[in-house]
Amino acid sequence: MTLNKISRYEIEKEIGRGAMGVVYLAHDPVINRKIALKTIEIANSLDTTKREELTRRMLTEVRAAGILNHQNIVTIYDYGEDILPFVVMEYVEGESLESLRKKKGKLSMDEIYPIIKGVANGIDYAHSMGIVHRDIKPDNILITKDYIPKITDFGIARILDASSTQDSGIIGSPSYMSPEQILGGTLDSTTDIFSFGVMIYYLIAGEKPFHGDTPHAVTYRILNEAPNPPSSYNPALTLHVDGVLLKTLSKKPEERYKKAGDVVESLIRAHTRPKERTGNTIKDMPPAKRNILSEISHVDTIIDEATMNLRRHSFHKKQKG
Together in a domain, 148 and 263 = yes
Together in a domain, 155 and 82 = no
Is residue 32 a part of any domain in this protein?
yes
Together in a domain, 22 and 65 = yes
Secondary structure (3-state) at 15 = strand
Together in a domain, 269 and 208 = yes
Residue 280 pLDDT: 47
Q: pLDDT digit string (tens) for 258-317?
A: 999 999 999 999 988 766 555 444 445 555 544 554 455 555 555 555 555 555 555 555
Is residue 163 a part of any domain in this protein?
yes
Q: Whole-angstrom Cα distance, residue 153 to residue 189?
A: 16
Contact at 8 Å (CB) between 4 and 11? yes
Contact at 8 Å (CB) between 273 and 300? no
Together in a domain, 142 and 206 = yes
Is residue 295 a part of any domain in this protein?
no
Q: Whole-angstrom Cα distance, residue 156 to residue 60?
A: 11
Is residue 105 a part of any domain in this protein?
yes
Is residue 288 a part of any domain in this protein?
no
Together in a domain, 129 and 164 = yes
Q: Which of 35, 42, 50, 51 is nearest to 17 (CA)?
A: 42
Q: Whole-angstrom Cα distance, residue 240 to residue 274?
A: 9
Among 135, 139, 192, 262, the active-site one is 135
Residue 213 appears among annotated catalytic residues: no
Residue 283 pLDDT: 47
Last residue of a domain, one of 90, 112, 129: 90
Q: Whole-angstrom Cα distance, residue 198 to residue 147?
A: 21
Is residue 239 a part of any domain in this protein?
no
Q: Whole-angstrom Cα distance, residue 8 to residue 221?
A: 47
Q: What is the pTM of this model?
A: 0.81
CATH assignment at residue 108: 1.10.510.10
Last residue of a domain, one of 30, 55, 90: 90
| Total of domains in the chain | 2
Is residue 305 a part of any domain in this protein?
no
Together in a domain, 84 and 157 = no
Together in a domain, 156 and 44 = no
Last residue of a domain, one of 46, 65, 90: 90
Secondary structure (3-state) at 3 = coil
In one-letter notation, the amino acid at residue 169 is G
Dihedral sign, Cα of residue 262, residue 264, residue 269, residue 273: positive
Q: Which domain holds residue 265?
A: 94-229+245-273
Is residue 320 a part of any domain in this protein?
no
Q: Whole-angstrom Cα distance, residue 134 to residue 158?
A: 7
Contact at 8 Å (CB) between 79 and 88? yes
The DSSP 8-state label assigned to residue 82 in this structure reads S
CATH assignment at residue 54: 3.30.200.20
Together in a domain, 254 and 158 = yes
Together in a domain, 142 and 43 = no
Residue 320 pLDDT: 57
Secondary structure (3-state) at 195 = helix
Together in a domain, 269 and 174 = yes
Together in a domain, 187 and 263 = yes
Secondary structure (3-state) at 153 = coil
One digit per residue, pLDDT tens: the chain, 321 residues? Answer: 567 899 999 999 999 887 678 899 999 999 999 999 998 877 666 777 877 777 777 787 788 888 899 999 999 999 888 888 899 999 999 999 999 999 988 898 889 999 999 999 999 999 999 999 999 999 999 999 999 999 998 866 555 454 443 333 444 579 999 999 999 888 899 999 999 999 999 999 999 999 899 999 999 999 999 999 999 999 999 999 999 999 999 999 999 999 999 999 999 999 887 665 554 444 455 555 445 544 555 555 555 555 555 555 555 555 555
Sheet with 22-28, edge to edge strand ranges = 5-6, 9-17, 22-28, 33-39, 85-90, 76-81
The CA-atom distances, in angstroms, between 148 and each of 27, 94, 95, 115, 247 are 23, 10, 11, 7, 27
